[in-house]
Chains A and B, each alone.
Chain A
Amino acid sequence: MWASILIASCGTYIEKLLGYLLPHHLLERESIRRMTGLLPVSLLAALVAVQTFAQDQSFLIDARILGLGVAVIALLLKAPFLVVIIAAAASTALVRWLGWLP
């Protein structure tokens, strides 16, 4: 675990450094710029889906989906981000406690 933490930390730091150190034309190519801009959207959307519906390698519909729904509502209401997260966690914990959803 420690090795991967250090590698990932160094790697993300080097990514930041590269922007200051590399000659500009390498990173400034339009295609690279475009791809780098789109990557977070794809990855974050996929993470939302997987972290909501997957349990190891199978699908599992449980209280997390309710938490995600609450998060969507909070975001639509322009709630601050900590409120979004607490609302999602609290609603999930609540329906579990009530025994409505696993």
Chain B
Amino acid sequence: MAWTRGGRQPRSSTRSIDTNALGIGIATGAYALSFGAISVASGLSILQTQTLSLFMFTGASQFAFVGVIGAGGGAVIAVVTALLLGARNSLYALSMGPILTPRKREIPFAALLTIDESTAMAIRHNESKRASRRAFFATGLSVYVFWNIGTALGSFGASALSDPGILGLDAAIPAGFLALLWPRLTGGSSSENRKMWTLAVASAGVAMVLIPFLRPGLPVLFSALVAVIASLLWGKNMHPVKDR
């Protein structure tokens, strides 16, 4: 879920924040349609698919989880891949803590809603703490609601088909991953983008080479080592990836 668009300059009124939040929610919900469909096509039930959207609620991890299961990679590899992709949410939460200053009771709720979109909107509306909070919760809630509605519609729709493969859903999976990756390859300065492209191509290459030797799912996990090596090599010259 890495693609809040529309770079309109924020106005601080609550109303414009809510309108933006609604728009982002609807766009994400449309994307969730494809998640629901792909998940069912990968062999998960409708209820299992919905459970992921209700409780995991982080798009890239959800897509990766069902992608690994669908490719026959098995449960353990699916879980590890989802967790590795979800690690960035810890950093989002870390930067949101001081902005949201959530009360103890609010923390479990704020945590659930900590995703790409809500974090990006809170950072964009940094004109006041109140606006940031509003943007975070309005966007998080809106995406949560539409993401789950979209998931349900997509999974019901796909389960009504006798052969979801006929719709080209197997090609929708890599296209979805590419769409999630794209802003990270094109969103930074040109030198940052070049580094991201290098990293992406190297990681894809490593995974490809390993395909014949490892069971499905493992080549992707090994590609994480490329990120580790890159972060050591690039050291302090490297600015952390900004989220859009």
Residues of chain A having any CB pair with chain B under 8 Å? 1-13, 15-21, 24, 27-28, 30-31, 33-54, 56-59, 63-64, 66-68, 70-72, 75, 80-82, 84-94, 96
Q: How far is the CA of A47 from the CA of B224 in the complex (A)?
A: 11
Determine the chain A residues whose CB is within 8 A of the CB of B224 once the complex forms.
39, 42-43
Whether B25 sits at the interface, judged by CB under 8 Å, is no
Given known contacts A38-B230, A53-B211, A45 and B94 CB-to-CB distance under 8 angstroms:
no
Q: How far is the CA of A82 from the CA of B185 in the complex (A)?
A: 19
Q: How far is the CA of A16 from the CA of B172 in the complex (A)?
A: 28
Give chain B's interface secondary structure class: helix
Interface 1/0 per residue, B36-51 and A, CB below 8 Å: 0000000010001001
Q: Are A41 and B75 in contact (CB under 8 A)?
A: no
**Stretch binding the partner chain, chosen from B12-20, B120-128, B131-139, B161-169:** B161-169
Determine the chain B residues whose CB is within 8 A of the CB of A16 once the complex forms.
58, 86, 89-90, 92-93, 111-112, 114
Q: A38-B227, A89-B34 are in contact. List 4 more A-B contacts (CB 8 A).
A: A18-B90, A34-B240, A54-B216, A93-B166
Report 10 cross-chain contacts, Cβ distance below 8 Å, ordered by A residue. A5-B65, A39-B84, A39-B87, A40-B88, A41-B199, A43-B223, A52-B174, A81-B179, A89-B175, A94-B168
- Rank and list the top 7 A-B pairs by shortest CB-CB distance, nearest first: A19-B93, A67-B171, A92-B168, A88-B175, A46-B223, A4-B75, A46-B207
**Min CB gap B75→A, angstroms:** 4
Whether B228 sits at the interface, judged by CB under 8 Å, is yes
Q: Are A58 and B211 in contact (CB under 8 A)?
A: yes
Q: Are A45 and B88 in contact (CB under 8 A)?
A: no
A44: contacting residue among B93, B108, B177, CB under 8 A = B177
Q: Are A49 and B207 in contact (CB under 8 A)?
A: yes
Interface 1/0 per residue, B179-218 and A, CB below 8 Å: 1111011000000000010011101111110011111100
Determine the chain B residues whose CB is within 8 A of the CB of A51 once the complex forms.
67, 71, 170, 173-174, 177
**Min CB gap A99→B, angstroms:** 13
Interface 1/0 per residue, B216-244 and A, CB below 8 Å: 10011001101110111010101011000
